Structure 1
Amino acid sequence: MATPHPRVYFGDRIVDVAEATLGVATSAVLYGLSVYTVFPVQVDGSRRSAFRLRDHFQRMVESCKIIGMDRFADEWDYDRFVSVATELVAANAPTEDVFVRATVHVDESIAGTRVRGCHTTVSMFVYDAVPIVPQDGMRLKTSTWRRIPDDAIPSRAKVNGAYVNSVLAKQDAIDAGYDDAIFLDGNGHVCELSAANIFLVRGGTLITPDVSCDILDGINRRTLLTLAAEDGIPVVERTVDLTELYIADEVFATGTSAGVAPVFEVDGRVVGDGTAGPIGQALRKRHAAALRTDELHGWITEL
């Protein structure tokens, strides 16, 4: 659990967290009609920097476009997004790394099941960068709940209401004594965890479900694929069978809020030798370094 820092952006201004509220009759509350992203901010003394901020903004634009929330792109550009993020982080003056969650809410009241032309409000809040999964080895359980397919609710759009699917899967895993769940798609292929992408290693090759497998096209997922290719690690994006996880040399998960987290057990089966493998460890170190200093890719935005 994490607590929002005291100052929040809401309704075109920065207010106390208690003032940032949505009405009970808004579409965001009635239908979960909001889209969001979470980006990390690294704090090193007086320096504050965001990782892949342009990509996070672009994902919000694309999520809105997919869902039909047509006012956000007209009212926001990247420069405004950076300006608000900078002002918000400064207002909270964090002394340690934080996450920022930015959300576009449809706040029209009793609009019915429609979205185009509806008024939207943007919120942003800061909270401590506490990982959502264990960083020292996870135990995963295949979920009895299937991943929502792209032709029902698009997986590449981060829609708040769709995360009921993730809550069902994760709570089921926790109730059974595991750390998180593995989603399968309608054909029984591996998708992702409840809120993180998944990778496996077999014979020195890094493998991950491709973007047509009802997964979120995660920004950290793309980051690891880039870093792996630069390190000369063979990379394959394809459909993955559940049993491949049982016999993998390594399994790990990644996401903004998950970091790069090793998996030691899947459905009661030990992964590899039950420790963090060399490829996952190497990518974890490279990822941690890229979050703070990146001169090659242009991933760092000073706030």
Structure 2
Amino acid sequence: MSGSPFPGMDPYLEGEMWQEFHDTLANQIRAQLLPLLPHRYVALLNKRYVIDQPALGIVAVPRRRTMYPDVHVVEPPRAKETATAVYGVTAPALEAINPLPDEVPVLSVEIRDVADRRLVTAIEILSPVNKRGDGALDYFNKRVALLQTETHLLEIDLLRQGTRIELIGELPPAPYYVYLSRFTRRPRTEVWPISLRGPLPTVPVPLLPPDSDVPLNWQAAINACFELVGYERLLDYTQPSPPPDFSEEDATWVKEQIEERLAVTVVPTL
């Protein structure tokens, strides 16, 4: 099997391979844009660290009963023998996991003006940490700050879990979205709902006037990630896809795509 069995976003990437895929995708976007940008611009990778607080909960680890009276303190011998007391301690009922926050690296792509290093367009690939807990608040604050500047903001949400970008009005239901906020048209935002069953769109990347937009082919970027890394070798398509669950209709379609690809790759024995 070569490449993803899905025509667009591969939902199996939303699991444990996400962080690796996210970084590879950011690099592919940059590589795709660099030859298209006018000479006055450059595409750079920006790495920041976001504090991710794990979901709170107690994981109980039962302990075996231990007879602690056998534990005692050994003191150096004294000139004269003295009686020592042995104290017993009560064993804890369980051990719990302390939810320590993690620092998660998040890559984004920045289009900057070479002359003054001005940030022209920010391209954000949303991660799980951007869509839950304190990380969602951190991203919200960053987003608000960007929207108050003369910077274009292009966001892609390839995760079905977590909170969505809040906009006025109801969007068509879709598993994935692309959002483009041009600073010249705010507060309006262009939105591309992305179907599970079709390829990802090619969207415009705006620059400074009078320069024209350059195209960003999201599907080509994802395909390039598969060609470079071979994620189809790392993803276990025999297991259920990462949560959330699909509708019954979509689950059937996902199963059919996988079975069709696996059937094609079966080599008959002679």
Q: Identify the structure with bigger relative contact order (alpha carbons < 8 Å, sequence gap 6+).
A: 2
Structure having the higher Rg? 2
| TMscore range, shorter length | under 0.3
Q: TM-score, normalised by structure 2?
A: 0.26
TM-score by length of 1: 0.24
Identify the structure with the greater strand proportion: 1
